[in-house]
Amino acid sequence: MTLWTHDLLGLLYGLIVGVSLGLTGGGGSIFAVPLLIYGLGIPVGTSIGLSLASVGITAGFGAALRLKAREVDVRAGLVFAAAGMLLAPVGAWLGTQISAALLLSTFALLMAFIGIRMWRGKSGEGVVPGACVVRSGGGLGLGCYARLSAAGCAAGLMSGLFGVGGGFIIVPALLYVTGMSIHRAVATSLLVIFLISISGVAAHLANGQQFPMPVTALFIGGGFAGMLAGGALRSRLSGPVLQKVFAIGMWFVAAYMLARNLPAFL
């Protein structure tokens, strides 16, 4: 593969990830790591850090728009993100201590799990709020902050370890703890993902990961453009059918990753 072809594929794969991210509202970003590793031949650690950077930049753009529209619960988002930012470096470090085969196999199982949630249409709408719910004129108590922080720790650990945004944890947790609307929870999750991603990327850089240029810029730029295109197409496509298509895609990619890494355990 020539250098020019390699960079062009980086742009194309970024577009694919961006479109899937825009169409699914978050789940499609999980395709980034397998495309970087198996499509571009980028090392595992670098791919995870690059995936996290791409997801973070995209989420940051979305968060800025939602903040301007006053759709973000800044207080809940900052509490959630603070805990996640503490654990994201731990996840990044843990990834350096685990063999690539085990890390990728675990990542494949995570993809399979998210695929099941997408197939069932689990995006948070069915979450029943817990006892800790923000009421008119009320506020979050210490118990609420503890629940948000615990969920933030889980999201941060997975973000640093696998390079994913963690929206499949963040949105249901925000709904359960605060009782906010699904629309506001999704908007708030963008702020959380952005902040946790900053911490995770910084940790990967501190661990010695280097992002190859210009393919990194092309991948992130392609993802940004694809996210806008996917978001524009989302309203024209059937949501339930689209989620099932992406779920099947995740299962195929997960099966491929498990098959590639199975020999390491035999």
* Core vs surface per residue 71-98: b (16+ CB within 10 A) or e: bbbeebbbbbbbbbbbbbbbbbeebeee
| Structural domain range at position 32 | 3-265
Tens of pLDDT, residues 19-48: 877 776 556 668 888 988 998 888 888 888
The answer to whether 50 and 223 have CB atoms below 8 angstroms apart is no
Does 61 score more than 90 pLDDT?
no
Task: Specify the amino acid at residue 51.
Answer: S
Cα distance between residue 181 and residue 178, in whole Å: 9
- Give the pLDDT of residue 84: 93
In the three-class reduction of DSSP (H, G, I as helix; E, B as strand; rest coil), residue 133 is classed as coil
pLDDT at 136 (0 to 100): 45
Distance CA 9, CA 216 (A): 11
Assess whether pLDDT exceeds 60 at residue 194. yes
Is pLDDT above 60 for 250? yes
- When mean pLDDT is compared over 123-137, 187-201, 227-241, the highest value belongs to 187-201
Which whole number is the average pLDDT over 78-84? 93
Query: Which is more confidently placed, 145 or 89?
Result: 89
Q: Select the more confidently predicted residue: 134 or 36.
A: 36
Mean pLDDT of the chain: 82
Amino acid present at 16: I
Percent of the chain with pLDDT over 70: 87
Written as six digits, the tokens of 246 are 């992406």
More confident site: 76 or 128: 76
| pLDDT score of 78 | 93
Structure-token match 């940790």, residue found:
203
**What residues contact residue 88 under an 8 Å CB cut-off, 6+ apart?**
156, 157, 159, 160, 196, 197, 199, 200, 203
DSSP three-state, residue 212: coil
Q: Three-class SS of residue 103?
A: helix
User: For 146-191, what is each residue's pLDDT tens digit?
Assistant: 888 998 999 899 888 888 877 778 888 888 787 777 778 878 888 9
Q: Which amino acid is at 89?
A: P
Whole-prediction pTM: 0.80
Q: How many residues does the chain have?
A: 266
Instruction: Work out the pLDDT band at 105, boundaries 50, 70, 90.
Output: very high
First and final CA of the chain: distance in angstroms?
A: 31
Contact 167, 84 (CB under 8 A): no
> To the nearest whole percent, how much of the chain has pLDDT over 90?
15
Planar angle of CA 49, 51, 52, nearest 5 degrees: 65
Q: Taking 90 as the threshold, does the pLDDT of residue 68 lie above it?
A: no
Tokens 């069915």 belong to: 126
For 135-151, write each residue's pLDDT tens digit. 544 566 677 888 889 98
Calpha distance 74→192 (Å, rounded): 9
The tally of domains found in the chain comes to 1
